[in-house]
C-alpha cells in the first residue's frame, strides 16, 4: 500500500499518534480527518484509489487532500478544513437557509469542478458519487467536490467503463443500474439532481410527498411541460430569488438528469447555459422513458424499459428489481 500511495505528490504521511492528538482522539467535533470505517464497503481499495487520484488533482473546486495514515488497522485521510460543512446540511436542516445567490453560485462551482475532472486534467476522472453530501463549502461558501473513494480514471478517448454497481440511489443514472457503466454522462446526471436540490430545497426521493411529487426530477419535468416551473421552487426562499435564474437552474437540472444518456449535455454545455452563454434547451413536455439494449447470452436481445423513479424502493435505498421490465424481444437476424 505504501508503494502505491507514495507515488502521488503533495499530501504527506501522518502518524496515527499525530492525528489522534490533533482531533482529541477523533472527537466528532473535529472534521479534518476522514476515518474509513472498519466495516465500510469502501475498504482498502477505495482508500488507495482516493489517495492516488485526489493527490494529483489541483483545482479551486476540489477539496484538497493534505495527508493520509494507515496504522493500527485504521485508514485515515486528512482534508483541508471546510468550515461550512456539506451542502446537504444547509439544504435539508430546519435552521439553515442558503440564499439564492449562494445556491446559483454553488451550482456553477460544482459544474466547474466537474469540468476539470471530465475534460481539463490529463485523464478523465469519473467521480461516480456526485451528491449534495459530497459537496463541501468553505468559509466563503465556495463549493468543492470531495470523497473520491469511488472515482476512476479513464482515457479521454474512452470516457466510460463497465464496473460493479457503485453510487448512491437517487443520484445514480438509470443506465448505471442496468449496465454498471460509469461515465461522464452518469456524473452529469448526478449533477442535474444536485442542481434540482439547490432549486427545490428537497431530496431526490421523498416517499411522504404528494402523489406525482415523490420523484423530484419527474415532478419538475411535469411542471416544465405545463409551464409551471416556479411551483417547484424551494418554499423556504419565500420567492426571494431571481425567477429567470431559477428557471435556468431547473431546466439545466432536468436536462442533465435526462433518462437517456445520449441526450444529456456535457458539463461544458451545461455551464454555457448557466452562464447565459447559450440558449436554454428545448425539452419534450413529458419526461421520456428510456430503453436499453441488454445482451443475454444466446437469448434474443431484450429491450428493457425502465420506469423512471420506480427503480428505487420506498425510501430511495434499494433497487426494486421488479421495476425493470422486458417490454420487447428482438430476435437476432
Domains of the chain: 2-79 (3.30.200.20), 87-274 (1.10.510.10), 291-330 (no CATH)
Give residue 307's pLDDT. 38
Give residue 151's pLDDT. 81
Residue identified by cell 458519487 is 129
Give residue 73's pLDDT. 77
Give residue 316's pLDDT. 36
Cα distance between residue 17 and residue 284, in whole Å: 58
Question: What size, in residues, is the chain?
Answer: 333
Show which residues are catalytic: 129
pLDDT one digit per residue (tens) for the chain, 333 residues: 555 555 555 678 888 888 888 888 887 765 557 666 665 555 677 777 777 788 888 999 999 888 888 887 788 888 888 999 999 999 988 777 899 999 999 999 999 999 999 999 988 999 999 999 999 999 999 999 998 878 887 766 665 565 556 678 889 998 888 777 889 999 999 999 999 999 999 999 999 888 889 999 999 999 999 999 999 999 999 999 999 999 999 999 999 999 999 999 999 999 999 999 999 999 999 998 876 655 444 433 333 333 333 333 333 333 333 233 323 333 333
Q: What is the pTM of this model?
A: 0.82
Cα distance between residue 15 and residue 110, in whole Å: 33
Give residue 249's pLDDT. 98
- Give residue-wise pLDDT tens across range 128-146: 999 999 999 999 999 999 9
Residue 33 has phi, psi (to 5 degrees) of -110, 130
Give residue 74's pLDDT. 80
> 192-204: buried (b, 16+ CB within 10 Å) or exposed (e) per residue?
bbbbbbbbbbbbb
Which residues neighbour 23 within 8 Å (Cβ) at sequence distance 6 or greater? 30, 32, 33
Give residue 205's pLDDT. 92
Contact 78, 23 (CB under 8 A): no
Amino acid at each position: 500500500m505504501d508503494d502505491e500511495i507514495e507515488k502521488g505528490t503533495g499530501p504527506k504521511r501522518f502518524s496515527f499518534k499525530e492525528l489522534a492528538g490533533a482531533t482529541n482522539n477523533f472527537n466528532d467535533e473535529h472534521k479534518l480527518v476522514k476515518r474509513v470505517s472498519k466495516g465500510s464497503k469502501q475498504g482498502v481499495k477505495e482508500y488507495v484509489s482516493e489517495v492516488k487520484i485526489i493527490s494529483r488533482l489541483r483545482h479551486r473546486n476540489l477539496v484538497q487532500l493534505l495527508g493520509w495514515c494507515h496504522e493500527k488497522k485504521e485508514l485515515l485521510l486528512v482534508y483541508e478544513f471546510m468550515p461550512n460543512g456539506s451542502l446537504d446540511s444547509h439544504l435539508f436542516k430546519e435552521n439553515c437557509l442558503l440564499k439564492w445567490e449562494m445556491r446559483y453560485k454553488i451550482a456553477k462551482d460544482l459544474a466547474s469542478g466537474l469540468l476539470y475532472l471530465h475534460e481539463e486534467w490529463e485523464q478523465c476522472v469519473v467521480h461516480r458519487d456526485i451528491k449534495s453530501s459530497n459537496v463541501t463549502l468553505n468559509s466563503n461558501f465556495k463549493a468543492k467536490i470531495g470523497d473520491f473513494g469511488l472515482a476512476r480514471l479513464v482515457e479521454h478517448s474512452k470516457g466510460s467503463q463497465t464496473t460493479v454497481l457503485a453510487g448512491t440511489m437517487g443520484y445514480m443514472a438509470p443506465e448505471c443500474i442496468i449496465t454498471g457503466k460509469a461515465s461522464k454522462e452518469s456524473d452529469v446526471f448526478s449533477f442535474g439532481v444536485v442542481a434540482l436540490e439547490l432549486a427545490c430545497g428537497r431530496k431526490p426521493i421523498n416517499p411522504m410527498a404528494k402523489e406525482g411529487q415523490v420523484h423530484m426530477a419527474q415532478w419538475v419535468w411535469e411542471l416544465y411541460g405545463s409551464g409551471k416551473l416556479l411551483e417547484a421552487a424551494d418554499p423556504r426562499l419565500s420567492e426571494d430569488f431571481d425567477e429567470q435564474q431559477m428557471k435556468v437552474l431547473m431546466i439545466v437540472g432536468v436536462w442533465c438528469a435526462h433518462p437517456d444518456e445520449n441526450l444529456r449535455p456535457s458539463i461544458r454545455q451545461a455551464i454555457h447555459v448557466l452562464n447565459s452563454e447559450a440558449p436554454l434547451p428545448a425539452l419534450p413536455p413529458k419526461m421520456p422513458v428510456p430503453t436499453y439494449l441488454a445482451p443475454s447470452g444466446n437469448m434474443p436481445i431484450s429491450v428493457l424499459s425502465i420506469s423512471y423513479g420506480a427503480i428505487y424502493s420506498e425510501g430511495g435505498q434499494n433497487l426494486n428489481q421488479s421495476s425493470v421490465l422486458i417490454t420487447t424481444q428482438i430476435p437476432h437476424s
